[in-house]
Amino acid sequence: MDIEELLKWADDRVLASTGKHLESLQKAILEGIWQHQNYEEIAATNHRTYDHVKREAWKLWKVLSETLGEDVKKSNVISVLETQILSNNFYPTFEDRMQIVGTLNGNINICGENKIASAAADSPESQGRSPTIDLQEAPELIDYCEDDRSSELAQLGEWVSEGTRLISIYGLSGIGKSAIAVNLVTEISDKFDCVIWRSLSHSPTLPNLKVELKQFFSTSQATLLPRAIDYFRAYRCLVVLDDLEKIFKSGQLAGQYLPGYEDYGKFFKQIATSSSSCLILLGWEKPRDIATLEGEKRSARSLQLKGLAETAVEIFRERGLKDEESWSELISLYRGHPCWLKIVAATILELFNGSVARFLAEKDSNIFIGDLEPLLEAHLERLSDLELKASNWLAGLGQAVDVARSPSSADLSKSQLWQAIQSLGRRGLVEKVQLGDRAMFQLNPVFQQYIQSK
């Protein structure tokens, strides 16, 4: 699609609905936004003042919103227009669309944006069709405690039913992101036309990932569409991208794309703002740009996965640990982190014949690190200088701090501390504790112990 086509289509629609053509400056604004210009640049290119362009843009969003029946603004105008053009022109009419896919598939498979609004009636489930599923890259679930994640699962399921297009699940490695996503996919896959799980562990570039997705979509859906994003728009696709941290920078604040991978951000935004599909991202860090999309209805949501609660005892029961009365102390020391608990359970079995009480009584530090070291180190290696300074300072204090308090260390200003704490929070390394109406922040105690011991 080119800008001429987009302008003509928008102008025709506005003419049909208001009896008036778009103003030439309004067309110039659309063209500028298409070229990723901001209002200042559009004003300069068209020899107008910034205020004039802003006023005209405001009128344009209003007329387009009324004409297209969607909330149109600068941030989404191009994707809204592209989606509407695609669903109105590419497939001539709704009936034709049903026919195109129906004939090729041998059964009726409705495609198009309308699906979310009428998801219940149109879902593959209600039509007795089963989705095409590729979960080859999803991990197998071993000794998983169902009950423990039921509220998070219910929350995620609700977001999917509401039509949320981008869901980010983030948290420490081994906390259970892949496990909960496998469960979620199992529960919801029948609401989708196709389901695919891909790991980004080999850091694929976006063009390569798109080729792979398009290949899968085109074999699972009979209609051939030009681009991967077209499938996200025309069908209900459920896509899980695991190990997202592999496309983020190390040594910088959390959630920033590696050089050459910034286009992922645009792709995620395209999906979040205009698609009928659901993309689930799993990773160690919350992508920085997701926060800005979260305000938009149905666009994006995120869940920080914390440790398991009491039912983590199943992990100990299964391994045959002893002294059940001490288990809850052990779970709380390791913050209910399932992978850490499994590692510590192995140590207790090897060194103390499974006696949790003796392990707790004999350990010489608050928290025994042992085999957790490589897991913890992998997180610390990714920190920026600022975050390292802040975590050393927090580890030294050994208690929760109010961010209003100035750091004693001279090479960390207050605003740097705020930035670092926010970023450490996005990595799950710093926890927020509520003290009355004040928020206090502390290092995850296991990391605190590890940093102190280094």
Binding residues for Mg ion, rule CB under 5 A, total 1
Binds ligand ADP (CB under 6 A): choice among 204, 255, 338, 428: 338
Binds ligand ADP (CB under 6 A): choice among 188, 240, 308, 412: 308
Binds ligand ADP (CB under 6 A): choice among 13, 97, 165, 177: 177
**Residue with Cβ nearer ligand ADP (124 or 171):** 171
**145 touching ligand ADP, by CB under 6 A:** yes
| Span of 21-29, 170-178, 321-329, 428-436 interacting with ligand ADP by CB under 6 A | 170-178
| Span of 16-24, 138-146, 201-209, 365-373 interacting with ligand ADP by CB under 6 A | 138-146
**178 touching Mg ion, by CB under 5 A:** yes
Residue 254 binds: one of Mg ion, ligand ADP, none (C-beta under 5 to 8 A by kind): none
Residue 281 binds: one of Mg ion, ligand ADP, none (C-beta under 5 to 8 A by kind): none
**179 touching ligand ADP, by CB under 6 A:** yes
SS3 sequence of the chain: CCHHHHHHHHHHHHHHHHCCCCCHHHHHHHHHHHCCCCHHHHHHHCCCCHHHHHHHHHHHHHHHHHHHCCCCCCCCHHHHHHHHHHHHHHCCCHHHHHHHHHHHHCCCCCCCCHHHHCHHHHCCCCCCCCCEEECCCCCCCCCCCCHHHHHHHHHHHHHHHCCCCEEEEECCCCCCHHHHHHHHHHHHHHHCCEEEEEECCCCCCHHHHHHHHHHHHHHHCCCCCCCHHHHHHHCCEEEEEECHHHHECCCCCCCCECCCCCHHHHHHHHHHHCCCCEEEEEECCCCCCHHHHCCCCCCEEEEECCCCCHHHHHHHHHHCCECHHHHHHHHHHCCCCHHHHHHHHHHHHHHHCCEHHHHHHHCCCCCCCHHHHHHHHHHHCCCCHHHHHHHHHHHHHCCCEECCCCCCCCCCCHHHHHHHHHHHHHCCCEEEEEECCEEEEEECHHHHHHHHHC
Binds ligand ADP (CB under 6 A): choice among 157, 174, 354, 445: 174
| Span of 23-31, 173-181, 376-384, 424-432 interacting with Mg ion by CB under 5 A | 173-181
**307 touching ligand ADP, by CB under 6 A:** no
Binding site for ligand ADP (CB under 6 A): 139, 142-145, 148-149, 171, 173-179, 308, 315, 338-339
Binding site for Mg ion (CB under 5 A): 178
